[in-house]
Amino acid sequence: MAFKSQKYELVELVVSGIASTGQTQTRWNFPDLPKLRYTALQAISFFTAGSLTATPLNNPLLPTTVLAKSYLVLYANDRTDLYRIPVLEMNRIQNSAVDPFARGLFEFNNQKVTWEKSYIEIASAPANTVNQSFLLGVYYA
C-alpha cells in the first residue's frame, strides 16, 4: 500500500555561522513548532544541498559531508526512544552519485513528538562561517 499523509510541514533548523572562527557547537534543538504540536508523526524526509539550492529563509543547506555525521534525536511519547537516527537515512531524493539516499520515506508510528525537546547532533562541529540549514519535511496527521 502506498504511503498517504494528511499534512506536511517544511522545517528549517538554522546552524548559525561564526565569521571569525567557524561554528563549534554540535547540537541544535528544534524551536517550538506550533503546527506540529499534538500531532501524530508519520514520516520525515531530509534534503541535501544537491537537491535544493536554498531554504525558504535563503540559507544554503549544510553540505553532505556534514549531513553524513548528523543524527536526529526525537523526544516522543515522553521518552527519547528515537535516538540518533542518521540524517542521510532520511534523504530520499536521488540527485547524483554524491548523495546517499533511501528510496522510500522514513516512516514512524504516529508518535507524539515534543519538538522543543528534540534535536539534531553532529559528531564534530561543522565549522561553518555563514548561516547554513538543515531542511526536513515532516508528514503528520
What are 38-62's pLDDT values in tens digits? 999 999 999 998 888 899 999 999 9
What is the chain's Cα-based Rg?
15
Q: To which residue does cell 557547537 refer? A: 25
Tell me how long the chain is. 141
Positions in the chain short of pLDDT 70: 1, 94, 96-98, 100-101
Asked whether the whole model's pTM tops 0.95, one would answer no
What is d(CA 9, CA 110) in angstroms, rounded to the nearest whole number? 15
Residues 139, 103, 44, CA angle at the centre, nearest 5°?
Answer: 20
Cell numbers at residue 108, please? 514512524
